Amino acid sequence: MGTPTRNRGLTGRLAGAGLITGVLALSACSAAGGSTAEEERVAGDVPQEILRRSGFDTAASDLADDLRGAGDPGAARAAVERHGAGLWRAAVDRAQGEGRVSGDLGAGDDRPLYWARLGMVSALREWEPSFPLEDAERAALVSDLEGLSRGHGEMDFPEDPDALRVVVTGFDPFGGDRDGNPSGAAALALDGTTVRTESGPVAIEAAVFPVRWSDFTDGMVERVLLPHYTGGRPADAVVTVSQGGGGFDLEAYNGAWRGGSPDNVGDRAEGMIPVPEGVPTVDPQPQWSESTLDRGAIAAAETGRFPVRDSTGVVEVPEGESERVDREDGPTAGSTAVSGSGGDYLSNEIAYRNTLLRDATGRDIPAGHVHTPVPRFGTADEEVVTDEAFERDRADIVDQVRAIVLEAVAARP
């Protein structure tokens, strides 16, 4: 559907890295102290093999070395900014064929970024500075490292006035140690690219989000996405992506309810999705928000080998009733949300938060959520970190995400 090119180099992307400091709110997962359950998994055999075979195995020790040489808080912050932004850039470069690829671990693999980040955060928690450092100051450094290594600090579009601007987001891996997340792989492949289409250039900026309730509670989604709904040159489309099932699902309706399943650190959250203070929102908070992607046109387009479905099912409690009802054609007026078309986990939540921002800012643009298929291994051996089937599935899914994103822009109102 077009030829992608890179928007800019490393220098331009790092220019605003310092703006992240002090902006990202602290979360429970970014608290100072011991490593989280998620970080402790880095020492396992599978994560270590993934790091070795990707060339990302020195990321944590490199940061630790620089921190040991930091003589004051400013030097420590500079080291965190440099290594955080550098990790994101190295992962993007690798995914787009411009970075180091070792062994037979595919270039588009999102898992090295995930495990390297966790190792770096753990190193930052264990660092013993030569100067006084309050717990809150260390937590702020962890927060900076998290955001910068996810691409949150460099989502700057090119100046081309003719280019349509599209924001795409993905997620960290979740599940077993060898599992990746094709939405994260797609974000790496698309970030900073401009695709030349028949109707003009499409510039894409991407970022990834953690599979953790606390970061969403703290407003991470709004901090990253709100600037692309406001200002002099906002985005022309915002597409959130996560891993789903056997095909692609275009989620029509997003519910305002958290189902409480455990996240990557084992935390659970159940109840209404909390909207952070100080951001535009809809009052009263709606039970449902809706995708404005042209789901019919996208589902009908030839985007790749996996089926694409318009997913309209929800679970609700109808107005005036007390029992849950499964509905295949969306929610009824006045109902209470139980589960959106994309479920009641963090994929539904990012879709809800994104489309709520769209409505609160009055932007009439395509905004919605896409669930991808799950890449399958050709073997049941849990010690095998990659094989031909897994690499093929991930590559095909990433290509199809790109095609779906371009269809979403082509079919915009």
CA-nearest of 340, 358, 360, 357 to 348 is 340
How many Cβ atoms are within 10 Å of 382's Cβ, its own excluded?
Answer: 11
Integer Cα distance of 259 and 172 in angstroms: 19
Q: Answer yes or no: are the C-beta atoms of 187 and 230 closer than 8 Å.
A: no
**Which long-range contacts (C-beta less than 8 Å, at least 24 apart) are formed by 66-73?**
67/123, 67/124, 67/127, 67/129, 68/127, 70/129, 70/130, 71/130, 71/131, 72/131, 73/131, 73/133, 73/137
Q: Answer yes or no: are the C-beta atoms of 268 and 209 closer than 8 Å.
A: no
Integer Cα distance of 21 and 139 in angstroms: 11
**Sign of the Cα pseudo-torsion (176, 178, 179, 183, in order):** positive
Cα angle 109-112-115, degrees, rounded to a multiple of 5: 140
- Token pair 């989280």 is at which residue? 36
HSE on the CB side for 362, CA within 13 Å? 1
Q: Answer yes or no: are the C-beta atoms of 157 and 146 closer than 8 Å.
A: no
Integer Cα distance of 382 and 390 in angstroms: 13
Cα angle 192-197-202, degrees, rounded to a multiple of 5: 30
* Contact partners, residue 359, CB within 8 Å, separation at least 6: 282, 289
How would you write the pLDDT of the chain (413 residues) with one tens digit per residue? 555 555 543 333 233 333 333 333 333 333 445 789 999 999 999 999 999 999 999 999 999 999 999 999 999 999 999 999 999 999 999 999 976 666 668 999 999 999 999 999 999 999 999 999 999 999 999 999 999 999 999 899 999 999 999 999 999 999 999 999 999 999 999 999 999 998 899 999 999 999 999 999 999 999 999 999 998 899 999 999 999 988 999 999 999 999 999 999 999 999 999 999 999 999 999 999 999 999 999 999 999 999 999 999 999 999 999 999 999 999 999 999 999 999 999 999 999 999 999 999 999 999 999 999 999 999 999 899 999 999 999 999 999 999 999 999 996 65
The predicted pLDDT at position 136 comes to 96
Q: Answer yes or no: are the C-beta atoms of 284 and 223 closer than 8 Å.
A: no
CA-nearest of 84, 47, 40, 50 to 265 is 40
Integer Cα distance of 95 and 100 in angstroms: 9
- In the chain, the N- to C-terminal Cα span, in Å, equals 19
The pair phi, psi for residue 390, each rounded to 5°, is: -65, -45
Q: Which domains does the chain have, with CATH numbers?
A: 17-148 (no CATH), 164-410 (3.40.630.20)
Q: How far is CA 85 from CA 90, 168, 281, 413, in A?
A: 9, 18, 30, 35
Integer Cα distance of 147 and 21 in angstroms: 9
CA-nearest of 24, 408, 7, 4 to 238 is 408
The predicted pLDDT at position 105 comes to 86
The predicted pLDDT at position 199 comes to 86
Angle between helix 111-126 and helix 135-148 axes, rounded to 10 deg: 170
Integer Cα distance of 403 and 240 in angstroms: 14
